[in-house]
Amino acid sequence: MKGVFNRPEWHEAVAGAVRATTAEAAAAALTDAVGQAVTHEGTCIMAFHRDARPEVLHHTLEPAGAKHYLDRYLAGPYLLDPLYQLATGDRKANLCRFRDELPDRFRSSEYYRQYCERTHLLDEMDFFADVTPATTVVLVVGRRHRRFTRGELSRLELVEPFVQASLQRIWALRPSRPADAAEDRVDRSLKRCFERFGESVLTERERQVSQLLLRGHSSKSIARELDIAPGTVMVHKRNLFAKLNIRSQYELFSLLIDELGRS
């Protein structure tokens, strides 16, 4: 492990982060440094806000991939992303392995099929830095071909203080922008749309069940979250499907995306 941090390339990458005078240069240096610690197939730095849509501060995706994965994601589906939930909620750590934080049926969810699966990431590590009371900057480090080994996970843990400082610096160097009231209204509209999804026909409990289903929870997991019996969850699920005139979670997801698109 020590050999990695004894290499000149590691020290040069750290020096680049120190020398950086722009957010883009600092982000590139951070990506380079993390690449010296562990091999990866892609990074993305995002700012998750509690009162506005996420911002992409830096990424290494090809233009076509960015349009497919990021633009569509920012149009509203980010509300179903476990990473968004971690960044804006009460998480337990500043370094998480994505696969360890997922709802129990997440990989069966339409959100996973439509967004996560198409990134072809086999493993993902996420660093979190709280830069303001309302904003958390996240570095996503992805792997497509093999999972991170124990040694690599240990190296990522070792560089966490450096990553934290770098994310803080990237945020500080980020060009300031005037408060965008229109953007805030869009975000509030999307959140309100999600929270009220189906309210014209569904009960409050049925809406809660639908939200958890969309986020990838099983009936047992929903029962734990809502402190009700699994059989009761099944009744709510059957009723909400009937009221929405749908037969599958794919149709439930499609209805939500249509609603978000109109918000």
Question: Looking at the structure, do residues 6 and 47 belong to the same domain, yes or no?
Answer: yes
- Kindly state whether residue 19 falls inside one of the protein's structural domains: yes
- Kindly state whether residue 190 falls inside one of the protein's structural domains: no
Q: Can you list the alpha helix ranges (DSSP code H) found in the chain?
A: 2-6, 8-19, 23-37, 63-65, 72-74, 82-88, 110-111, 117-119, 150-158, 160-173, 181-195, 204-214, 219-226, 230-244, 249-262
In this predicted structure, what is the pLDDT of residue 188?
74
pLDDT digits (tens, 9 = 90+) for 14-23: 999 999 999 9
Within the chain, which residues score under 70 in pLDDT? Answer: 1-2, 63-65, 67-68, 177-187, 263
Contact 97, 124 (CB under 8 A): yes
In this predicted structure, what is the pLDDT of residue 12?
93
In this predicted structure, what is the pLDDT of residue 139?
97
CA distance to 25, 65, 70, 126, 144, per residue, from 42 (Å): 17, 11, 13, 12, 9
CATH number (domain holding residue 124): 3.30.450.80
- Report the distance separating Cα 253 and Cα 233, nearest Å: 18
Question: Looking at the structure, do residues 215 and 156 belong to the same domain, yes or no?
Answer: no
Question: Looking at the structure, do residues 14 and 95 belong to the same domain, yes or no?
Answer: yes
In this predicted structure, what is the pLDDT of residue 178?
60
- Kindly state whether residue 189 falls inside one of the protein's structural domains: no
Give the H/E segment covering residue 49. strand 43-49
In this predicted structure, what is the pLDDT of residue 201?
96
pLDDT digits (tens, 9 = 90+) for 53-70: 899 999 887 766 676 677
CATH number (domain holding residue 220): 1.10.10.10
CA distance to 55, 152, 161, 171, 230, per residue, from 46 (Å): 6, 23, 18, 10, 36
Q: How many domains does the chain have?
A: 2
Tokens 């990473």 sit on residue: 83
Domain hosting residue 234, numbered range: 196-262
- Report the distance separating Cα 195 and Cα 256, nearest Å: 11
pTM of the shown model: 0.89
